[in-house]
Amino acid sequence: MSREIVVVGGGAAGLKAASRARRRDEEAEITVLEKGEYPSLGRCGLPYYVEGFVHDISNLMETLSGDVRDEEYFKKVKNINVLTKTEALSIDRKKRAIKISRNGRDDELNYDYLVLATGAKPVRLRVKGVDADGIFSLTSAEDALKITEMWMDDSIESAVIIGGGLIGLETAEALERLDIDVTIVELKNQLLWNSFDFEMAELVRKCIIREGVKVLTSTTVQEFITEDGKVKAVRANEKILPAELVIISIGVEPRTELAESAGLELTERGAIKVNEYLQTSDPFIYAGGDCVENINLLTGEHVYTPLGSTANKHGRIIGDNITGGRSKWRGVLCTSIFRVFNADAGRTGLTEKQAREAGFDPVIAISPGPDRAHYYPGFKPIRLKLIADRRTRKVLGAQAFGLGVIDKRIDVIATAIQMGGTVDDLAEIDLAYAPPFSSALDHVIHAANIIRNKLDGLVEGITPLELISKLEKHENVLILDVRNEKEFQAKRIRGNVLNIPLSELRERIDEIPNDKEIVTSCAIGTRAYEAARVLLNRGFKVRFLDGALATWVFDDYTIPS
């Protein structure tokens, strides 16, 4: 007798589970229920549809060969019954049946195995006027279509995006490209607060400001000002921000109403509780995608990481296990990447702050420079921050930002972390090299070597945040800038700064006071490290500036009088 498999949710996890189950079991009867109109929609592409890069919403449903993954496609190609505009109402676990509503009529489907891939819903902002027209979350095709229609019909001049996370920044670019005046409002004191350390997030902020987007951090939305039921402005920290369009992007939360009403166990944070096989508290019901939590592979703690890549992996494992397999899901490193204007930003593992909070003793390196050999035409700058544990030397995380290639660096480091690698392993990894692709020692290796030098006692670093704190407190610190005079005159750190080019350092060493803490600096860090070693060997108290001037984002700081 063939298995009856019902999947609730026609997104990444649900349809991957159904497709994997079909490949393993040709005889199974598989039905997928999708409440909306668009199954297998690449929601991560919605900002690009709004921007105009993707010309039709159906493009986000296409296969590589151009077939649209609609109901007919799944029936003919995969023999899977996909029912759109169909809502799952309730689960009868004793009968193993699910009540549904389709075309205004209720029905019931029996199942041997039920898969809940109900996804996530936007977190609501509970302030006055939030239900006005013109306020969206951009988490559905319907939102994207309405935003595009508004832009075409109403000539939107200004927009406010609430939330400075990944989706908020991608949406900011999309709207700015449409010649809309965009302001981002973020409650925290930095963008990307849960995924990037401050100095790396500041690089992103500087980038989008240069493109004309306004950014307000440490700012609270107090109300939406409306007129005739439409949003006209946002009041935030008592400022009035004009806005005919508002995008609320403060996060999502698991959609679990169906599971909860069926009596399935939930986690403390309200996600559907699953085991390593992605099996719920009912052995005949599985769950995956954005409605469940994951295990952080470094800390062992539960984390909520709603990503399409993770949802697809969940679906494959569930498809195995509902057709007789025993595949396990281990967890995530919260790896992510996105493009903002012409630059890319990515991360994996733990931030420095997260590593410290998890009980590690983090050591960091910031490696700025070109993404390939500096003499090869077309090189572009990147900045890579690497984090490791002082005690075990294991790699804990990384962040990268720049105009050049960062994805391969993040992917290499994610692989090293997942395999339990140390900075010594990372420094010795046999990466591909040719001038069009990287320098002879890639950023990944260079960053690992910086941390090795620190761990082996050859040098100490000081982060940009530590240095700015010392400068603002007028501590007894001297910045020794070892670039040439032309570089020094073009840009410098304000404060107590002495310029001695590295080539002149040994002959002019008597000019350096020995009663101050010396911080060496240069353009990207190499000369600063060389200078620090020279001074350390002469008995000076010295550290070099992590990330050097390439990562210095505090040009507008104020030194107290």
Question: What's the DSSP call for residue 45?
Answer: G
3-class secondary-structure state, position 455 = helix
User: What is the rounded average pLDDT of the residues 436-448?
Assistant: 96
3-class secondary-structure state, position 488 = helix
pLDDT tens per residue across span 117-153: 999 999 999 999 999 999 999 999 999 999 999 988 8
User: What is the rounded average pLDDT of the residues 506-527?
Assistant: 96
Residue 446: the pLDDT is 97
pLDDT tens per residue across span 393-408: 999 999 999 999 999 9
pLDDT band (50, 70, 90) for residue 268: very high
Torsion sign, CA atoms 228, 229, 230, 236: positive
Is pLDDT above 60 for 252? yes
Residue 1: the pLDDT is 73
**What secondary structure does DSSP assign to 56-72, as a single string?**
SGGGGGB-TTS-B-SHH
Supply the mean pLDDT for the chain.
95
Which two tokens mark 355? 């590593």
User: What is the rounded average pLDDT of the residues 360-364?
Assistant: 98
Instruction: Confirm if 74 and 39 have CB atoms less than 8 A apart.
Output: yes
pLDDT band (50, 70, 90) for residue 472: confident
Distances (CA, A) of 239 to 128, 185, 225, 395, 546: 15, 11, 12, 44, 37
The label of the residue with tokens 């799952």 reads 88
Is pLDDT above 90 for 4? yes
Residue 211: the pLDDT is 95
pLDDT tens per residue across span 528-554: 999 999 999 999 999 999 999 999 988
User: What is the rounded average pLDDT of the residues 173-200?
Assistant: 96
* Alpha-carbon span 98 to 31, nearest angstrom: 12
Q: What is the pTM of this model?
A: 0.95
Residue 559: the pLDDT is 43
Is pLDDT above 80 for 343? yes
Residue 561: the pLDDT is 36
Residue 152: the pLDDT is 87
User: What is the rounded average pLDDT of the residues 334-353?
Assistant: 96
pLDDT tens per residue across span 153-166: 877 999 999 999 99
Instruction: Confirm if 28 and 323 have CB atoms less than 8 A apart.
Output: yes
SS3 string of 365-391?
A: EEEEEECCCCCCCCCCEEEEEEEEECC
The closest alpha carbon to 167, from 251, 228, 232, belongs to 251
Residue 556: the pLDDT is 63
User: What is the rounded average pLDDT of the residues 183-200?
Assistant: 96
pLDDT band (50, 70, 90) for residue 557: low
Domains delineated in the chain: 4-120+253-321 (3.50.50.60), 135-250 (3.50.50.60), 342-455 (3.50.50.60), 461-551 (3.40.250.10)
Residue 213: the pLDDT is 97
Instruction: Confirm if 112 and 283 have CB atoms less than 8 A apart.
Output: no
pLDDT band (50, 70, 90) for residue 560: very low
* Alpha-carbon span 399 to 391, nearest angstrom: 21
Residue type at position 433 = Y
3-class secondary-structure state, position 451 = helix
CB atoms within 10 A of CB 369: 22
Residue 435: the pLDDT is 97
* CA torsion, ordered 269, 271, 274, 278, to nearest 10 deg: -140
Paired with 163 in beta bridges are none
Helical ranges in 66-155 per DSSP H: 71-78, 141-154
H/E segment holding residue 293: none
* Alpha-carbon span 382 to 369, nearest angstrom: 6
Residue 154: the pLDDT is 74
User: What is the rounded average pLDDT of the residues 304-332?
Assistant: 97
Instruction: Confirm if 401 and 382 have CB atoms less than 8 A apart.
Output: yes
The label of the residue with tokens 């930095």 reads 190
The closest alpha carbon to 187, from 214, 215, 219, 234, belongs to 219
Detail the DSSP E strand segments found in 299-342.
302-303, 336-340
Is pLDDT above 70 for 458? yes
Distances (CA, A) of 87 to 132, 186, 347, 451: 26, 35, 37, 54
Which two tokens mark 540? 């000076």
pLDDT band (50, 70, 90) for residue 474: confident
Q: Sheet harboring 542-545: ordered strands across? A: 461-462, 542-545, 517-521, 477-481, 497-499
Active site residues: 44
Residue type at position 286 = Y
Q: For the chain, give the percent of residues with pLDDT over 90.
A: 94
pLDDT band (50, 70, 90) for residue 339: very high
55: CB partners within 8 A, 6+ apart: none
User: What is the rounded average pLDDT of the residues 219-231?
Assistant: 96
